Amino acid sequence: MVVFWNARIKGKLKIDKEITSSNPIAVGDVVDASIESDFENTLIIHQIHKRKNYLVRSSPHNKNQKNIVASNLDQSILIATLKDPKTSLGFIDRFLVSCEVYHLKAILVFNKKDILVEDEIAYFHYIENIYTQIGYDVYFISAEKNEGIEQFEELLKNKVSLLTGHSGVGKSTLINKIIPDKNLVTQSVSEWSGKGMHTTTSAEMFDVVNLNGQIIDTPGIKELGIVDVSRVELSGYFPEMKSILTHCKFNNCLHINEPSCAIKEAVQKGIVSEERYVSYIKILETIQEKWKVKIYFILYRLVGITFIDYLIIIFV
């Protein structure tokens, strides 16, 4: 029988010093705790064990604030859908980059196969090819119609897996299929906006007893901010670019318009897919160089410069 205890943290816990996240404790953490009240089933957490790994995202409310999504994971699974709602390639690539940054195995699962028409299925196979060629595992399932569930279950054996993706892609539905007595709340996608209703509101871990695994359901996410990556490092997190980029003429090449750029040549030859290159450029545009942010704060303190003035100075 599983017994649930409510736990609270005592004082300040040290482990999070280098991450400085808004949440001191995350799903998947291993902790030392002592009983506070046997009667009320409450615990006090004294210590968080060192995390094997963790996944960090920028907070939706404040881009400079980080949130630990979960820790001690074996793999991170993106549940994507080509429609109702649509998951863009840009979003998929941001997910893959985050996993590379945190050394997490990434898996792509496309759900709602049952609602796709012929053209859309052909498009799925086109993008499946892009990702399998660069070494990612791709699955095509229907949680609703029980298609591909057995293969999906194979993935979970003896592993701690995180499920992530937009709201409404079917994360909770899928968990309900695998653990039928769970009865997680699910909700249909809004007919008006084609988007999910943000039904799951916090991350939660479940035991998949028959597979000796654990699965973490998470709330749907709109955007995926990339953290802890500088502009020059970014291409190193695209596996198909990583091996080529040492052939660029400049070792700090950003592969935009520099001469003798091996990545751009690879795109022209079709070795690197155009879709992935476009995602690379889009992500690159969103990465602020940390030193630029620091200089802004120094100027703000010294002369009270506004952020707009600062932007004008660095871009003009």
Ligand X SMILES: Nc1nc2c(ncn2[C@@H]2O[C@H](COP(=O)(O)OP(=O)(O)OP(=O)(O)O)[C@@H](O)[C@H]2O)c(=O)[nH]1
Using CB under 6 A, list all residues that contact ligand X. 111-112, 114-115, 142-144, 165, 167-173, 186-189, 196-200, 219-220
Nearest in space to 221 (alpha carbons), one of 107, 55, 72, 22:
55
> How many C-beta atoms lie closer than 10 Å to residue 214's C-beta?
21
221-260 binders of Zn ion (CB under 5 A):
248, 253, 255
- Cβ atoms of residues 231 and 289 within 8 Å: yes
Dist CA 312 CA 307 (whole Å):
9
Q: Out of 67, 200, 214, 235, name the contact with Mg ion by CB under 5 A.
A: 200
Q: How many residues bind Zn ion (CB under 5 A)?
A: 5
Minimum CB distance to ligand X smaller for 216 or for 272: 216
Partner in contact with 253, chosen from ligand X, Zn ion, Mg ion, none, beta carbon below 5 to 8 Å by kind: Zn ion
Binding mask 80-119 for Zn ion (x = CB under 5 A): ----------------------------------------
CB 113 within 8 A of CB 80: no
Choose between 101 and 174: whose C-beta lies nearer to ligand X. Answer: 174
CB of 92 to Zn ion, least distance (A): 23
**Binding residue count for Mg ion, defined by CB under 5 A:** 4
- Residues whose CB is less than 8 angstroms from the CB of residue 20 and which lie 6 or more positions away in sequence, other chains included: 66
The listed partner (ligand X, Zn ion, Mg ion, none) that binds 114, CB under 5 to 8 Å by sort, is ligand X
Question: Binding of Zn ion at residue 263 (CB under 5 A)?
Answer: yes
Q: Which is nearer to ligand X, 19 or 143 (CB)?
A: 143
DSSP, collapsed to helix, strand or coil, labels residue 1 as coil
Contact 79, 169 (CB under 8 A): yes
The DSSP letter of residue 228 is S
Question: Taking a C-beta distance cutoff of 8 angstroms, is the pair 25, 31 a contact?
Answer: yes
Say which entry of ligand X, Zn ion, Mg ion, none residue 255 contacts (CB below 5 to 8 A, set by partner kind): Zn ion
Nearest distance from residue 96's CB to ligand X, in Å?
19
Coil, strand or helix at 187 = coil
- Give the binding range for Mg ion (CB under 5 A) out of 82-90, 100-108, 198-206, 223-231: 198-206
What distance, in Å, lies between the first and last C-alpha atoms of the chain?
A: 65
Q: Are strands 160-164 and 75-80 parallel, antiparallel or unpaired?
A: parallel
Q: How far is the CB of 170 from ligand X (least distance, A)?
A: 3
Residue 176's alpha-carbon distances to 195, 205, 218, 219, 264, in angstroms, are 21, 13, 14, 15, 45
Residue by residue, DSSP assigns 36-56 as EETTTTEEEEEEEPPPS-EEE
Residue with tokens 């670019």: 241
Task: Please state, in angstroms and rounded to a whole number, the distance separating the CA atoms of residues 173 and 114.
Answer: 14
- Binds Zn ion (CB under 5 A): choice among 189, 261, 272, 283: 261
Judged by CB under 5 A, the chain residues 156 through 195 that form the site for Mg ion are 171-172
Q: Residue 69 or 143: which CB sits closer to ligand X?
A: 143
Q: Indicate the Cα dihedral angle 296, 300, 304, 306, nearest 10°.
A: 40
Q: Report the residue number whose CB is nearest to ligand X.
A: 220
What span, in angstroms and rounded, lies between the C-alpha atoms of 20 and 14? 10
Q: CB under 5 to 8 A by kind: which of Mg ion, Zn ion, ligand X, none does 167 bind?
A: ligand X
Residue nearer to ligand X on the CB measure, 57 or 171: 171
Q: Which of 53, 65, 75, 199 binds Mg ion (CB under 5 A)?
A: 199
* 166 versus 264: smaller Cβ distance to Zn ion: 264
Give the footprint of Zn ion on this chain (CB under 5 A): 248, 253, 255, 261, 263
Give the footprint of Mg ion on this chain (CB under 5 A): 171-172, 199-200
